[in-house]
A and B are shown apart, each in its own frame.
Chain A
């Protein structure tokens, strides 16, 4: 083999996980300590990497104010689905054990700078944050709780879309969650949607896009169809910024892009406007 055909050696980029974090957007190595301190935001490119739902709660809620609801609602297997890699029921069980969460969304009540809210926070670690029956049920119950308490609902989305393993039942969760959002709309209860990386497919095409206020984190992937599917369909290359938060802002589907470090203060400020009427009524 000539030297020129020799495949270039892949740089040995396997950092010690405990010491370094790698930005998924720009491959920059960031000391783990700094990475944690910056709330998983890349100091070089400002990419906001995924957080667990509990980390997110700690970030936006007043300390000690969060109280989980709907914990009893967990994964079910309506189709008894089995694919090439095995039974969905087993996969779901393993995911519950690994993440310590019962479904892809964590719901609860809490306060943000003293303002009472009902929260739904999705977790991408849980089967890609996919929307399935348990997710839809938790979101519906959270919305009903918001309606009952007359407190704003805030949902942080992080999802690849509907969970295939629950088939049509997952698809129906789009209609189910939107029905709950419709109720809030009619009752004048605020609903704020925060789209984080990624928010695509059936989640972007349901509750995530119909907030009174739609907010996203910088550079989050937001869109309906997958990039590869679109490229195959239209047979052309897509712009680099396609389906980013910035693209969605430019096209009129977001009110604001908010950095993680400013999220809590921004939400609190918006909530003071959004609850104007609710406060008067009390």
Chain B
């Protein structure tokens, strides 16, 4: 094979399709929030419960120290085994999960701690009980309150950013994505079955929806893409987690310099400009 051909092949290999990225974002070996906590935080004090109904296992949060910085950390919780995933509802939070997250954010505001939110969910749980307890209201409330939260909010989409279930903890001053994470209004499968009337057209939908980190950066929806090691996050979780830690720390330092009124105004302006 000529040198040129090899180079071309490499370039093609580099350019993976959006649908392939969807598979990587959902890979079972991808680091989950417990890995990020273990790898990023020198201290973590989990805080439980929404004070109204229960303690959702699909959402985890608490005080955390990242590189000497004290923060409030939270995120959807996927498991590493089938048993864990069943216990954590595959990272699909119930209303009490979003309410727990909001309680912790309000606490962060009170204590002057920045919020670090790690997003990885197929979506908010679509269940009977979730509806009865107000899944819509819980997410809506979070969106409304996060917009005015008087403390910095840093968001990293680490795996799946599944629609309203992701956004419910993702109204951030800075929103970053890992290179092979996805963030979408609907799953490619769901979109394909509605707009293509054929679930197998998910690869087409994945491309049309522009759900990759690269596309979302271009659209101005996110602020930064965190590079993953060659072979993606699951091939080297430690290196991935280190990259996330570095990016979070960089923004923590940056955002702490901004006075709170300006910070909240900028957050408003940022989301107000979405789609303009």
Contacts and interface: CB of A to CB of B under 8 A. Distances in A.
For the complex, would chain A's binding face be called helix, strand, loop or mixed by DSSP majority?
A: helix
A125 B105 CA distance: 39
Contact of A176 (B135, B194, B196, B274): B274
Contacts of A251: 132-134
Interface in A209-249: 209-210, 222-226, 229-230, 233-234, 236, 238, 242-243
- Among A168, A169, A226, max chain B CB count under 10 A is at A168
B201 A84 contact: yes
A183 B140 CA distance: 14
The bracket for how many chain B residues form the interface is 35 or more
A79 B216 CA distance: 10
Given A167-B185, A171-B185, A83 B144 contact: no
Given A202-B185, A225-B127, 9 more contacts: A133-B274, A173-B275, A176-B274, A178-B140, A206-B143, A210-B137, A225-B131, A233-B127, A236-B128
Interface string A173-208: 111101111110110000000000000011011111
A170 interface: yes
B198 interface: yes
Nearest to B137: A209
Nearest to B268: A179
A207 B127 CA distance: 22
Given A168-B219, A224-B131, A137 B209 contact: no
Interface of B: 124-128, 130-137, 139-141, 143-148, 163-164, 167-168, 170-171, 183-186, 191, 194-198, 201, 204-205, 208-211, 216, 219, 221, 267-268, 271-272, 274-276
A79 B126 contact: no
Interface of A: 76, 78-79, 81-85, 132-134, 136-137, 140, 162, 164-176, 178-183, 185-186, 201-202, 204-210, 222-226, 229-230, 233-234, 236, 238, 242-243, 251-253
A78 B133 CA distance: 35
